[in-house]
């Protein structure tokens, strides 16, 4: 009874927030802003030319160069540095997941690659809102607010304004790392990288000529995906999308809950899913959740607040997610609405500083990292979750979104994957990346630099293979650290 009253108190706070009417007086437009809108804008052709001119400063062939810095930091030390801000009992699980393959290692090693990209030389200087952790497993389909399936980037934990080529380089390196893991030969990996970079170039040029509003509303929908694929790949994509359409909150209800005393409760599977009574700081979980949700509620638009206040919290668990994110704090909140068959599942995920901040002079507009993630996602994803928002608790930053709402993606399983589809999937990923960069940067300048020839494609092939080799060396270094006892690795099979 006491527990129920606590949850009702939290929801009551939601209602109070909804009733508070505040009037914000918009300041008079400053001269600086007014001058911006009155200033002359460069034409598309002029921006193309400016991008092309950058090749003199930074030739495209140099994009293919990778050489580890003489003072390169020990990769294991970088991971250990990250572990200091994570839940110590979960860090061994992170290492275990990274040690399943060099591809898994790459997925968890965004901080290592950020350091290498920064140390490896100059950039074009063209800034976009980067994903920051761009790899082939960070794409998938998800539902728009209109319940249409969209293909795009689905992880923004590291997002930050930065060089467009850093995202592209991480993507192509992941194509080779994933290809090797799945059993692809060198020729197929090369073909896949070429497919990705050539698509990125061509789509960027296409987006450069779109009107601003047309580009803003552009997405890659299910029909676009199927149209871009050959019959064999189209069949595989159709299966993924059909499965995603079934991943509703009702499906999650059946998969993630048990019926206990005539009420649905989230399943527990320690140490991966646990029910806690207190946070790591010692605060009662009900009190902590109330404070966090109160903060989160402020980040939502009025219509979302109105919708959310119709739900009541049924249960909460802490859950381990992903590879690179393991060790950060993540909760699953199970809510019920109009009836027991009206569930809503929210994921509350900790947002730590982007791995890029150390190398980009802290270029985020936001000191709240939950807001950094959310604002970055809203800028480049095209159809963000309606409940996407941010909150703070005990000095920690979080972002909140729906869990598994019509989401789906490729499973990187050597036993089931069809290797012949790799080039087409790589091309789709690059298309989504180009759209994200075009929305947040200067598509004409990037297109002018990238050009129409295959010079950038070949350069990126060289980089992709060189960095995939580096990743394998770093993977072996982590394995050696586990073997000699420097790091503790969990046994996830236990």
149/220 Cα distance (integer angstroms): 9
Asked if the bond preceding 180 is cis, omega within 30° of 0, the reply is: no
433/382 Cα distance (integer angstroms): 12
Q: What is the predicted pLDDT for the residue at 285?
A: 84
CB burial class (10 A; 0-12, 13-18, 19+) of residue 444? buried
390/398 Cα distance (integer angstroms): 6
439 CB-near residues (< 8 Å, 6+ apart): 129, 215, 216, 218, 379, 380, 382
Phi, psi of 2 (to 5 degrees): -60, -40
Residue 378 pLDDT grade (very low, low, confident, very high; cuts 50, 70, 90): very high
Higher pLDDT pick, 290 / 469:
469
187 CB-near residues (< 8 Å, 6+ apart): none
| From 38-47, 245-254, 467-476, the region with the lowest mean pLDDT | 245-254
Residue 21 pLDDT grade (very low, low, confident, very high; cuts 50, 70, 90): very low
Q: What is the predicted pLDDT for the residue at 29?
A: 58
Q: Where are the alpha helices (DSSP H) in 365-454?
A: 369-380, 422-440, 443-450
Percent of the chain whose pLDDT exceeds 70: 93
Q: What is the predicted pLDDT for the residue at 60?
A: 97
Six token digits for residue 62: 């140099």
Q: What is the predicted pLDDT for the residue at 17?
A: 39
Q: What is the predicted pLDDT for the residue at 177?
A: 98
Q: What is the predicted pLDDT for the residue at 28?
A: 53
pLDDT tens figures, 331-359: 999 999 998 889 999 999 999 999 999 99
Residue 165 near residue 202, CB atoms below 8 Å:
no
Q: What is the predicted pLDDT for the residue at 27?
A: 52
Mean pLDDT of 391-409: 88
Q: What is the predicted pLDDT for the residue at 133?
A: 95
pLDDT tens figures, 406-425: 788 888 888 888 999 999 99
Q: How many CB atoms lie within 10 A of CB 255?
A: 10
335 CB-near residues (< 8 Å, 6+ apart): 311, 312, 313, 314, 343, 344, 345, 346
Rounded to 10 degrees, what is the CA torsion of 16, 19, 25, 30? 60
Higher pLDDT pick, 205 / 325:
205
pLDDT tens figures, 185-222: 999 999 999 999 999 999 999 999 999 999 999 999 98
Please count the residues of the chain: 494
Residue 450 near residue 437, CB atoms below 8 Å:
no
Beta strands in 51-206 (DSSP E): 127-130, 139-143, 149-153, 160-163
Does the pLDDT at position 260 exceed 90?
no
Does the pLDDT at position 302 exceed 70?
yes
pTM of the model: 0.90
Radius of gyration for the chain, computed over Cα atoms and rounded to the nearest angstrom? 23
**What's the mean per-residue pLDDT of the chain?**
89
């Amino acid at each position: 009874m006491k527990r129920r009253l606590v949850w009702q108190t939290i929801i009551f706070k939601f209602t109070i927030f909804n009733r508070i009417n505040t009037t914000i007086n918009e300041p008079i437009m400053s001269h600086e802003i007014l001058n911006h809108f009155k200033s002359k804008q460069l034409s598309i052709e002029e921006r193309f030319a400016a991008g092309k001119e950058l090749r003199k400063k930074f030739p495209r062939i140099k994009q293919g160069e990778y050489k580890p810095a003489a003072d390169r930091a020990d990769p294991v030390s970088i991971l250990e540095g990250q572990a200091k801000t994570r839940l110590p009992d979960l860090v061994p699980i992170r290492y275990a997941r990274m040690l399943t393959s060099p591809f898994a290692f790459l997925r968890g090693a965004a901080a290592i690659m950020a350091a290498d990209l920064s140390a490896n030389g100059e950039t074009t200087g063209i800034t976009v809102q980067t994903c920051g952790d761009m790899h082939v497993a960070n794409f998938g389909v998800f539902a728009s607010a209109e319940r249409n399936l969209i293909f795009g980037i689905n992880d923004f934990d590291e997002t930050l304004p930065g060089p467009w080529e850093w995202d592209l380089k991480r993507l192509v390196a992941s194509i080779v790392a994933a290809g090797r893991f799945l059993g692809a030969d060198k020729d197929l990996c090369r073909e896949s990288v070429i497919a990705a970079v050539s698509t990125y170039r061509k789509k960027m040029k296409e987006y450069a000529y779109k009107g601003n509003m047309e580009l803003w509303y552009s997405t890659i929908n299910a029909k676009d995906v199927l149209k871009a694929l050959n019959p064999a790949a189209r069949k595989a994509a159709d299966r993924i999308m059909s499965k995603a359409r079934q991943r509703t909150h009702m499906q999650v209800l059946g998969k993630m809950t048990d019926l206990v005393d005539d009420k649905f409760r989230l399943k527990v599977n320690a140490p991966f899913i646990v029910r806690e009574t207190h946070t790591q700081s010692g605060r009662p979980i009900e009190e902590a959740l109330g404070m966090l949700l109160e903060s989160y509620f402020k980040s939502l638009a009025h219509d979302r607040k109105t919708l959310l206040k119709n739900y009541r919290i049924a249960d909460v668990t802490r859950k381990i997610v992903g590879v690179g994110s393991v060790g950060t704090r993540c909760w699953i909140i199970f809510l019920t609405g109009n009836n027991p068959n009206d569930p809503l599942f929210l994921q509350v995920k900790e947002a730590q500083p982007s791995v890029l901040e150390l190398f980009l002079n802290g270029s985020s507009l936001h000191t709240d990292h939950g807001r950094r993630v959310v604002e970055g996602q809203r800028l480049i994803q095209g159809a963000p979750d309606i409940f996407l928002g941010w909150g703070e608790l005990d000095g920690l930053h979080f972002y909140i979104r729906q869990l598994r709402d019509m989401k789906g993606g490729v499973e990187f399983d050597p036993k089931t994957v069809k290797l012949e589809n790799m080039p087409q999937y790589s091309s789709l990923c690059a298309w989504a990346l180009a759209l994200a960069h075009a929305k947040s940067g200067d598509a004409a300048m990037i297109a002018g630099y990238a050009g129409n020839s295959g010079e950038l494609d070949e350069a990126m092939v060289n980089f992709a293979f060189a960095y995939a080799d580096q990743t394998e060396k770093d993977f072996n270094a982590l394995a050696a650290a586990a073997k000699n006892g420097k790091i503790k690795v969990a046994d996830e099979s236990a």
